[in-house]
A and B are shown apart, each in its own frame.
Chain A
Amino acid sequence: MSDLRELYQQVILDHYKRPRNFQKMECANRHAEGYNPLCGDQITVYLQMDGDVIKEISFQGAGCAISQSAASLMTTALKGKTKAEAEELFKKFHDMVTGEGHGADPMELGKLAVFCGVSEFPVRVKCASLPWHTLHAALEGKDDPISTE
């Protein structure tokens, strides 16, 4: 990567500085905590599920620009999606940030494609995927905090 602006794209910086859906959700019926002990990144994802559909989603947390903006963008992408659609998006996102999804169409990821630069930074992959692992735990109804280690 020649330019660090490919990693720290404006969209990422914008979501880091002004995170969307950043609040505790009082009416949540699912939530999970995620923690990256290496960086100290910490995230709580709140869900209000209506059957299999994510009716509302929000998060709270603290950490690096990559983890916090990934959480923010994730919440904007998932409202109204079904559990299966969310898991499918997680898989595509994961493939993109780990550089494994050769055939992945960036269009399918929409705004989430801004994280494509992360694959060049192996130590930062955990930052970008932490919110998604936490979401997965919330969808599964797991109570134990998720750790990336």
Chain B
Amino acid sequence: MKRAVCRTSEEPCQECLVGFGAEKIREDFPILWTKVHGKPLVYLDNAATAQKPQAVLDTLMRYYTEENSNVHRGVHFLSQVATQAYESGRTRVRQFLNASHDREIIFTRGTTEGINLVAQSYGRKHLRAGDEVIVSAMEHHSNIVPWQMICEEKRASLKVIPMNDAGELVMDEYERLLSDRTKFVSVAQVSNALGTVNPISDIIGLAHRRGIPVLVDGAQAIPHMPVDVRALDCDFYVFSGHKLFGPTGIGVLYGKAELLESMPPYQGGGDMISAVSFEKTVYNTLPHKFEAGTPNIAGTIGLAAAIEYVEKIGMQQIAAYESELLEYGTELLTAIPGLRLIGTAKEKAGVLSFLLDGIHAHDIGTILDLEGVAIRAGHHCAMPVMKRFGVPATARASLAFYNTRADLDALAKAIHKAIEVFA
């Protein structure tokens, strides 16, 4: 295990030299000290939303206490401070994704809005009757429904890359789906319900050979691994701030500048215009063309603080630590009699989706909750995935870098308790 950079001093401390230092990292997340039903909280619902470090909470408090003002408008001091902080947030995101230009970073409400923006703006402009859009069998509803909506409007059709029993995409089938009719590909980098890490570079490469643009839904990838949009060469990349330890209501759409330039605005309003008269409106330049109305200024600044926080730990270190944690959890869970893992891809990140013989996922969720263990039970907004595996719901434990082996031990213990109750 590579050692993590210590976040509390310039010099690596002894704890950081010994392993990853997750125990120390936990101290940065006040909510992890909470007790639930009298038991210490074991938070394993990170794929739904991640907890926020003190650094993010402090940044939000400081912004509203000392800097709150509207951006891109005022000549007064505070407005300039807020504008500066907001635009620095954009630069921070650009660096984090290794994008070329700040104007390629559009702030949204989250992944869902990012996909809707591309579907409604790029899709509405370029899709014609008979065209095809490709998604995968493991998409979250947010990467299905926006495409269905625009396909219906344009009389285009949605094609689906199938997956095998392990929850891996069948790449041969993907190649067969690509044709002259294909106008767009939109695929998750990591599955929220299964944890599968898709071969996203190959998916992009194959589409690009035919000149087809690709959107990568990075909602479940961004908290777990380094992402370099230029190395991936994706055309669009979307993610949510709240899954990356930032506030809710803020997300990012990265798009290649030439594509974003060619696209019509998504919403009209203030900030996205250069000049307005009742006869004609001239739209603003990128990125503002896609940011109508007062943006989520606090959210952006909070997201920038969250990125600064994870960068100090190091995305490589986080990926290595979580990979080891996932391996430990997989061994622990598969040793439980009657437990079946759903999603057993070779490449996985952060997710342990499972079933127990004779116990419905919701009963598992309730019993684990009473033990202080927070997981998600249900279809995970991926009903086609549940259908593919022939189950109504799964129980899902999902990891973050502040989780430890002790959390997974508590999970296993609580699962045994559920089995005992239903015995």
Contacts and interface: CB of A to CB of B under 8 A. Distances in A.
A40 B379 contact: yes
Given A39-B392, A40-B392, A65 B363 contact: yes
With most chain B CB atoms within 10 A of its CB, the pick from A1, A2, A40 is: A40
B310 interface: no
Contact of B362 (A2, A17, A42, A64): A64
A62 interface: yes
A40 B381 CA distance: 12
B362 A39 contact: yes
B367 A4 contact: yes
B378 interface: yes
A2 B370 CA distance: 8
Given A38-B378, A40-B386, A40-B392, A121 B422 contact: no
B393 A4 contact: no
A63 B359 CA distance: 9
With most chain B CB atoms within 10 A of its CB, the pick from A1, A63, A64 is: A64
Contacts of B363: 8, 64-66
Nearest to A3: B370
Contacts of A42: 392
A47 B361 CA distance: 29
Interface in A36-88: 38-42, 62-66
A120 B359 CA distance: 20
Interface in A3-48: 4-5, 7-8, 13, 17, 38-42
Interface string B337-379: 0000000000000000000001111110011001000000111
Q: How large is the interface on B (under 10, 10 to 19, 20 to 34, 35 or more residues)?
A: 20 to 34
A8 B367 contact: yes
A5 B366 CA distance: 12
Contacts of A7: 366
Nearest to B392: A40
B275 interface: no
A40 B393 contact: yes
Contacts of B367: 4, 8
A124 B366 CA distance: 9
B421 interface: yes
B361 to A, nearest CB: 8
Contacts of A66: 362-363
A19 to B, nearest CB: 13
A92 B400 CA distance: 44
A65 B362 CA distance: 9
A13 B362 contact: no
A127 interface: yes
Nearest to A124: B366
B42 to A, nearest CB: 16
A74 B104 CA distance: 59
A38 B376 CA distance: 12
Nearest to A5: B421
B393 A65 contact: no
What are the 4 A-B residue pairs with the smallest beta carbon separation, nearest first? A40-B392, A64-B360, A64-B362, A4-B370
Interface of B: 37-38, 358-363, 366-367, 370, 377-379, 386, 392-393, 417, 421-422
13 contacts: A2-B38, A4-B366, A4-B367, A4-B370, A39-B362, A39-B378, A39-B392, A40-B393, A62-B392, A64-B361, A65-B422, A121-B366, A127-B362
Given A4-B370, A39-B378, A65-B422, 9 more contacts: A1-B370, A7-B366, A17-B358, A39-B362, A39-B393, A40-B379, A62-B392, A63-B392, A127-B362
